[in-house]
Amino acid sequence: MSGIATAVVAGSVVTGYLGSKAQEKAASKASKAQIQSSEMGIEEQRRQFDALQKLLAPYVEAGTGPRGALAEQQALLGLRGAGAQERAISGIESSPMFQAMARQGEEAILQQASATGGLRGGNVQAALAQFRPQMLNALIDQQYERLGGLTRIGQASAAGVGAAGMQQAGAISDLLAQQGAARAGSALAQGQGQAQMYGTIGQGIGTLGTLKLLGAF
């Protein structure tokens, strides 16, 4: 009788021990799988953000970079100093477009004056004197507006990168939280398995003690 009772109790303890170990192993395996999945998600989030940043980089640089449209607008307004403003205006004045338009405009004024017999009149000389400054002023305004289009593109691209960064940060935070939950769940499950194992051992010892008191040994 005593041998049978001992075997039964021992079998119960062994079964409980093996069950608890299987539970701990399963919890650890599940936790590792979830953590690995989260790591893959984080890497993909970073890869997508890097790709987006690279894609928008030329637009950000053209609009808001050190030599971008915004910097050129500031130079035209004199916000980068008198030297920068002078260089920006001189660049427009010496451009092939300005030179061609100035030449065509002056030739048109002279042709009109020649046709009307007022080639040597004071009005013609005044018109010629005013033409280049007026055209330069118009081209400066035109250049500023064109640069404004690039500035807006750069601003929108920079805002897009910023929004993507915030979205990525939120997604990565969620994935890190999942990793934390997986680790916590694994630790809890393993703790429960160990508690179950110790409980089974304690129960077996108690059972043996009870059987001994009842004269089973």
Per-residue pLDDT of 196-211, as tens digits, reads: 655 555 555 555 555 5
Give the integer Cα–Cα distance in Å for 137 and 146: 14
User: What's the pLDDT tens digit per position in 17-73?
Assistant: 555 666 666 666 766 767 777 787 788 788 888 888 888 898 889 898 888 999 999
Choice between 172 and 57, residue whose per-residue pLDDT is larger: 57
Domain extent for 187: 2-213
Q: Choose from 95-104, 124-133, 166-175 the range with maximum mean pLDDT.
A: 95-104
Give me the residue label for tokens 């280049």: 132
C-alpha closest to that of 24 among 183, 199, 184, 193: 193
The one-letter amino acid code at 151 reads: T
In order, the DSSP letters of 46-88 are: HHHHHHHHHHHHHHHHHHHSTTSHHHHHHHHHTTT-HHHHHHH
Our count of domains for the chain comes to 1
**pLDDT exceeding 70 applies to what percent of the chain?**
64
